[in-house]
Structure 1
């Protein structure tokens, strides 16, 4: 009788070792980069879009390097206190790696970095759970933007529609989403069909470190916030 694949034994020690080695490789890469580049920035991101981020990263690759991933691992790499920081003042950078954040290490002049980040903005369709930026309401009547084949799909999204002489028609007004409320899966699909983009992918600079100084960009933060983090 053949052996069941469901009962195959997996060595936990091997999987743990692989995870540890991966973390160590990231730590080493960050530490090497910290020696190779003139300045280090922490940035936060909103509505991440992997493809667009990859394009931005490739554009700056000749002079810079990005790191995204576990904040804890990046903090360990830089040092979380004065006693274990790898370069003077880097523990302050480590303290600001919170939430959706990443590291940007570069040899670019400060004004060029600020210009690149401030100009970078990409509008895209919002995903489920995104907070709606406006109210979208469809009024009773024909929906000429949809073909008759779309009628069953629109009904599945909760829209009160019917076919009237081959034309998709709303039998009553329909609110797709309300401003300030999270989008449902159905709302996100309908907005995509309508061509309405409510998500903006942005990268926001939080701080800048160089061997000469340390600067905070984010409003409402000061040195005391770093010290107490």
Structure 2
């Protein structure tokens, strides 16, 4: 599945911390039905067999709704599951090596925090950039908050699409209007909510109003 700018409007990153009595598949499908446009599977603690099984399940689910699906960090699982691509951070495998492994036709997303990192990532083959953390978040440790001006400068410095990530919710998302991003990546703003359907629809409406 190919990437276009609209695919990144409302980007969901998975996290099983808020499953409760639900399955990840049921939560993800609820979000896909209600407007999520891109899906990333992020797992740090699963064994490879379980990770691969989950990746295949998530890919099939995403494709039912014509939504691109990528794996966070793990290129081996990305290849074995035939995901649409992979998303890597600055401390993961190099961009050049990731591109070589997944091939030219797969989606490669890269996390960046500076204009210099953004320009280099685009030059080395990234298809889109994730910029953050925009706001303080408990989901990921050792993150640095990115200013609005830095976000805007990054968007103006590259031609590939950019998504903001990190602590974004329906209360602070409006502050990103005018930055030049193509959308936002969220976790708890959808998955930690009691009503995933409502939360997804509300975020999607806001995104459509300020990013398209």
Q: TM-score range by the shorter chain?
A: under 0.3
**Normalising to structure 2: TM-score of the pair?**
0.25
Higher relative contact order (CA 8 A, sep 6+): 1
Largest Rg, 1 or 2: 1
* Higher helix proportion (structure 1 or 2): 2
